[in-house]
């Protein structure tokens, strides 16, 4: 049975769907399968002639492709970032929540084919929406190959990658500084409280980062945790700037 031509209930306009995702399929049946939830197949078990392909297996393939494309992209885009920074960006970009938000932003739920027990497209679980995005990624790969799906994924997820780069979700600078200092100094930083002031209901704390016995940047906050994060952020940014400056000086001297 050709679902693309004979059974499009719940899918909406497939041409409109392709406009939303920014890709035209050579084999439209791949898109139909990617948009078909397993609840549809479950309802048709009683009729062997009705055997629609659902997106379960495609989710599996799409998840692997998504991880590969995003990993490759951020590895090339951020050559100075540590493994921890790259992992944070990737985790945010490929998360269930990010993919579900993306699906909603482009109107993908309107085109998902659901069983009668899941007929409310407006209140679909995050997992269902994320799985459909992964299945569509697999469909693009199956339709025209890796280069096409790479471009497709980057176009969809570049905003999420850029948001993660600029600290959404917020960066854990204590973790980043520890990774950096262990790699370059073979030591973890310690934080020393050097000032505490103000009334009990409105205290202010000042903390300094110490690496190998040397004091670096100070941080001020309403509690020790906030002060340590700000101290770590300032110290991390200082060390990265110093490293970039040394690299630039080396490049100039070798010309």
88 and 18 together in one domain: yes
Average pLDDT over residues 220-229: 92
Mean local confidence (pLDDT), 40-67? 75
- Binned at pLDDT 50, 70 and 90, residue 70 comes out as very high
Q: Does the pLDDT value for residue 20 go beyond 90?
A: yes
Of the candidates 124, 138, 130, 118, the one whose C-alpha atom is nearest the C-alpha of residue 34 is 138
Is the same domain home to 195 and 122? no
What's the chain's average pLDDT?
A: 85
Given a cut of 90, whether residue 100 has pLDDT beyond it is yes
What pLDDT is recorded for position 127?
92
Residues 138 and 188 grouped into a single domain: no
Final residue of a structural domain among 132, 165, 198? 165
User: How far is residue 163's CA from residue 178's CA, in Å, rounded to a whole number?
Assistant: 23
Is pLDDT at 119 greater than 70 in this prediction?
no
pLDDT range class, residue 8, cuts 50, 70, 90: very low
Distances from the Cα of 144 to the Cα of 26, 45, 131, angstroms: 8, 32, 20
More reliable by pLDDT, 61 or 38: 61
How much is the pLDDT for 42?
A: 59
Residue finishing a domain among 128, 145, 165 = 165
Active site residues: 63, 134
Round to whole Å and give the CA distance between 8 and 225. 55
- pLDDT, one tens digit per residue, over 148-178 is 999 999 999 999 998 888 777 667 888 889 9
Three-state SS for 106-132 is CCHHHHCECCHHHCCHHHCCHHHHHHH
Of 165, 192, 218, the one marking the end of a domain is: 165
Look up the pTM and report it. 0.65
Residue 3: pLDDT band by 50, 70, 90 thresholds? very low
Which residue segment(s) compose the domain that 128 sits in?
3-165
CATH code of the domain in which 119 resides: 1.10.1520.10
Q: Are residues 157 and 65 in the same domain?
A: yes
Same domain, 37 and 121: yes
pLDDT tens digits along 240-251: 888 887 766 555
């Amino acid at each position: 049975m050709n679902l693309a031509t004979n059974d499009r209930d719940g899918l909406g306009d497939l041409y409109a769907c392709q406009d939303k995702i920014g890709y035209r399929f050579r084999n439209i049946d791949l898109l139909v399968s990617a948009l078909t939830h397993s609840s549809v197949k479950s309802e048709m078990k009683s009729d062997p002639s009705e055997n629609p392909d659902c997106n379960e297996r495609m989710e599996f393939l799409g998840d692997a492709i998504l991880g590969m494309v995003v990993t490759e992209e951020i590895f090339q885009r951020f050559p100075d970032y540590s493994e921890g920074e790259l992992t944070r960006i990737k985790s945010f970009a490929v998360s269930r929540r990010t993919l579900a938000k993306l699906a909603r932003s482009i109107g993908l739920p309107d085109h998902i084919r659901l069983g009668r027990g899941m007929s409310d497209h407006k209140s679909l679980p995050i997992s269902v929406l994320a799985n459909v995005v992964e299945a569509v990624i697999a469909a693009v790969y199956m339709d025209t190959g890796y280069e096409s799906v790479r471009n497709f994924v980057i176009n969809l997820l570049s905003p999420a990658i850029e948001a993660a780069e600029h600290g959404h979700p917020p960066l854990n600078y204590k973790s980043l500084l520890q990774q950096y200092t262990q790699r370059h100094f073979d030591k973890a930083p310690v934080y020393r409280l050097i000032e505490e002031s103000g009334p009990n209901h409105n205290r202010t704390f000042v903390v300094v980062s110490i690496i190998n016995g040397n004091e670096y940047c100070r941080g001020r906050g309403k509690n020790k945790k906030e002060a340590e994060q700000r101290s770590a952020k300032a110290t991390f940014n200082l060390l990265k700037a110093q490293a970039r400056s040394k690299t630039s000086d080396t490049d100039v001297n070798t010309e």
